[in-house]
Amino acid sequence: MSTVARVTDGATGRDAPDGATGRDAPDGERTSASGGGTAGPQDGPGALTARRAVGLVARREINSRMRTASFVLSTLGLLLALGVYAVILLLTEDGPARVGVEREASAMRPALAAVAGKTGDFEFVTVDGDRTDRLLRDGELSAVVGTTADGRLTLSVEREADEDLLAVVRAAAAEERVTRELERAGVDPVEFRERVASATVRIDVLEPRGNGAAEQFALILSSTGLLYFFFVFYGIMLAQGVVEEKSSRVVELLLSTIRPWQLLAGKLIGVAVVGLTQLVLLGGAAAALAQGTGVLTLPAAVGGTLVTLGVWFLLGFLLFAALLAAAAARVSRQEDLQGVVQPVMLLITAPFVLGLALLSKNVHDPLIEWLSLVPPLSPILMPARTLLGVAPVWQIVLSLVLAVAALAGMTRVAGRMYANSVLRSGSRVPFAEALRLR
Amino acid sequence: MAVPALEVDGVRKSYGRRLVVDDMTFDIRAGELFGFVGSNGAGKTTTMRIVLGVLAPDAGEVRWLGRPVDFAARRRFGYMPEERGLYPRMKVDEHLRYLGELHGLSPAAARSAAGRWIERLELSRYASEEVQNLSLGNQQRVQLAAALVHGPTVLVLDEPFSGLDPVAVDVMRDVLAERAADGVPVLFSSHQLSLVERVCDRVGIVSDGRLIACGTVGELSEEAGRRLLVDAPEAGEDWAAGLAGVEVVRREGTRTWLRLTKGADDQRVLRAALATGPVSAFVSEHPPLTELYRDLVTGARAPGEDAGERAGAAAGAARTAGDRSGGGER
């Protein structure tokens, strides 16, 4: 290169009237600049492989995002929220309620304990009848079981009787009465119970569900909600990044040295890594919390849950974010972003709303079953079904294969839209032109 | 004769039905500072973006050392976009290192190159500041460093001088001259015509997407017609009236400014002046670029046909760097 570099002065018109003001002045500087020129034409830039280009872009995305105060604060904030939630759970869950039994009624204690024993919600202690009022008002006891002169049971509470406790007391009273009547009739109560028990119905559950309805809903909400939040949050973050590059024109600088697809791929990977990091941090904390407090039973091991979420996050994020980036590349100003990303946002929001509505009614909803196989609905619906333990393996595999196929196709289209639009500043690039083959 | 290093050949570009650049042809030699002037929307930026491969031309091509410019060659070009293109929230040194590496420098080479340019452009104080916290002038220095950090083989700068204070203008000018002295062809656009005139080896004037003139300022003024300043104290009002190809521009006291059409004989003017009495001054003058530019651009805009011919003639003159104006200078 430097063979052509030295051109004899005066070959061109160096005789401009005012003389070459700056040109011949900095002779000393010239040597310093070219002498220190490790980046000079000789040993300057080498070839840049596509992988290195993508890697450099991704690394910049990760560095610039993870080091921002907003990332640190949002992560800490979400962790803190989880922590507060955990503390509330632990505080509200203060063991079995203490129920007093007055000395006069202490004969009932074994029967009460036997009936309540199955649930473990109540603990019975014997108290003096004259202290009942004070113990109740102090909150030491939630209720006191007593007996009237004619042998009938009473239940004293401060304000309202707990339904469950009432049931327990009634059952115990009935039990007590039955036992006494049986003994009077000369029937052995133990033998009688055995005979009655053999007449019960055995229930065979084909698809057992591990959680109660409320917990199930919580699980759907947390899993789909977390994914939805991450798709939207990081998708928008990426879209804003695309517009930032376009509006600051840095994209012109970048695209004079790397290809549009390399820039897009690097950005997608970079933001995905940041999102995945936060997801794993939060998901891990949430899962540990669920296990620790025993509020939820997760279907597989915690690790498995996180892998499920992580895989679907990656697939879904890349799918949605590629579309968002392609849409965002059509505009040059952040203010215009909203309008172009709306259709893509609908694609993310629809399965979330639909999934919540249908899954909370019936986890075996056939419509959900089919919809959860098809991208772009699968990245939100399938992980929810997987976590609920209602998705057969073949469905999971099929939905993954379809999602990967869609990803391959969509990124190609999105990449083309991106490349067609990203250098056209000014007004919004028409959709048809963005899609045009070059 | 210098070999053209960077050639722009018959480049055409239109946005929709609007023709923005039409048959743009010029070349820049190694080590040459080439000034690109023209009104807003004349097609300068589009041409530069095409040179950088940021835009694809509809027709024509750009050649570097005789070969069509490909992606690998472009990676070694340095570019300063018109609107400043930097990440606002990135630190200056990080940003320069990043761009250096994206152009294929090793991390170590990128670090040392970034450090060197930060020092050279007097940005040391701001090295670890975010770009957005710098004044516009300093951001522009960073932008220049961004164009230079990978030791480019060609420099293309869109309005590098706009918005700079006088000191920064000097720094910018010195750096560009340095790069040119190192054999790098430098193409830059500017509206500051007096600066272009001082700094550039050659100038290309663009109007409505066409290059209407190209050459040294001397050649351009030759083309536009020479100016003569004659101080003949005893001459009458209309001493130069009957001379063919001579037009009186203005008179001030005893001094007369004349415009000679191309090919007019200045010696006849001298004889006519001497015929009136003593001649105390007879000077061949260059019209400043500002004036040339105004003449050329307004001339080019009025009749379309004429403009094309003038452009052709001017471009032709640019290559036959024959006798320059002002005998004294030779």
Are both B143 and B236 inside the same structural domain?
no
- pLDDT band per the 50, 70, 90 thresholds, residue A426: low
Domain edge (last residue) among B216, B236, B266:
B216
Is B186 domain-assigned?
yes
Contact across the interface for B182 and A26, Cβ inside 8 Å = no
Is A31 a residue whose pLDDT tops 50?
Answer: no
Alpha helices in A17-131 (DSSP H): 27-35, 50-66, 69-92, 109-116
Q: For A97-197, which CATH superfamily applies?
A: Periplasmic binding protein-like II (3.40.190.10)
Answer yes or no: do B97 and B166 share one domain.
yes
What was the pLDDT predicted at B110? 93
Please tell me whether residues B100 and B197 are part of one structural domain. Answer: yes
Confidence of residue A90 (pLDDT cuts 50, 70, 90): low
Instruction: Output DSSP code: residue B21.
Output: E
Identify whether residues B183 and B202 lie together within a single domain.
Answer: yes
Using the predicted structure, report yes or no on whether residue A438 has a pLDDT greater than 70: no
Token code pair at residue B179: 């790069």
Residue B192 above 80 pLDDT?
yes
pLDDT of amino acid B301: 58
> Residue B257 sits in which domain range?
226-285
Nearest to B197 among A16, A39, A248 (CB): A16
B40 in a structural domain: yes
pLDDT of residue B315 exceeding 50, the answer is: no
Calculate the dihedral angle through the C-alpha atoms of A54, A405, A429, A433, rounding to the nearest 10 degrees: 120
**Which residues of chain B does A51 touch, with a Cβ-Cβ cutoff of 8 Å?**
none
Asked whether residue B158 is assigned to any structural domain, the reply reads yes
Strands (DSSP E) contained in B153-245 are: 154-157, 186-189, 202-207, 210-215, 226-231
- Same-domain pairing of B237 and B210: no
Q: Where are the beta strands (DSSP E) in A251-401?
A: none
- In angstroms, the CA A327 to CA B290 distance is 45
Say how many domains are in chain B.
Answer: 2
pLDDT of residue A407 exceeding 90, the answer is no
What is the nearest CA distance from B207 to chain A, expressed in angstroms?
Answer: 22
Instruction: Indicate if the pLDDT at residue A22 is higher than 80.
Output: no
Boundary-marking domain end, from B187, B216, B245: B216
Q: Are residues B69 and B144 in the same domain?
A: yes
Residues B191 and B237 in one domain: no
Domain locations in chain A as residue ranges: 51-82+211-435, 97-197
The tokens of A135 are what?
């113990």
**Closest by alpha carbon to B280, among B230, B209, B208?**
B230
Shared domain for B171 and B263, answered yes or no, is no
pLDDT (tens digit per residue) in A136-174: 787 777 788 888 777 777 888 877 777 778 888 888 888
Task: Collect all residues of chain A within an 8 Å Cβ-Cβ radius of residue B32.
Answer: 7, 12
Q: Is residue B322 part of a domain?
A: no
Same-domain status, B163 and B281: no
pLDDT of B160 over the 80 cut = yes
Residues B177 and B241 occupy one common structural domain: no
The Cα–Cα gap between B172 and A249 comes to 21
Best to test chain B binding among A7, A34, A263 (most B CBs inside 10 Å):
A7
CA-based nearest residue to A1, from A42, A38, A48: A42
B 246-275 residues with CB < 8 A to A: none
CATH number at residue B36: 3.40.50.300
| ipTM given for this complex | 0.74
Residues 34-73 on A with a CB inside 8 Å of B are: 34, 36-41, 43-48, 53, 56-57, 60, 64, 68
Residue B323 in domain: no
Tell me if B174 and A16 make a contact (CB, 8 A cut-off). Answer: no
- Report the residue from A12, A15, A258 with minimal CB separation from B329: A15
Residue B227 backbone dihedrals phi, psi, to 5 degrees: -110, 140
Dihedral sign (CA A373, A376, A379, A381)? negative
pLDDT tens-place string over residues A48-81:
788 888 999 999 999 888 887 778 888 888 888 8
Q: How far apart are CA A208 and CA B230, in angstroms?
A: 110
Q: Which of B180, B195, B216 is the last residue of a domain?
A: B216
- pLDDT for A1 beyond 50: no
Which of A8, A30, A252, A258 to mutate to probe the B interface, most B CBs <10 Å?
A: A252
Residue A19 backbone zone (phi > 0: left; psi -120 to 50: alpha; other: beta) = left
**Cβ separation of A40 and B151 shorter than 8 Å?**
yes
Nearest by CB: A46 against B29, B71, B104: B104
B144 lies in some domain? yes
- Contact present, A146 and A105 (Cβ < 8 Å): yes
B positions 70-129 inside 8 Å of A (CB): 71-72, 74-77, 79, 81-90, 98-106, 109, 112-113, 116, 120
B25 and B149 share one domain: yes
Task: Confirm or reject contact between B154 and chain A (CB < 8 A).
Answer: no
Q: Which of A4, A26, A44 sits opposite B5 (nearest CB)?
A: A4
Share of chain A above pLDDT 70, in %: 76
Q: B140 and B22, same structural domain?
A: yes
The three-class DSSP label of residue B250 is: strand
Q: Decide if B235 is inside a domain.
A: yes
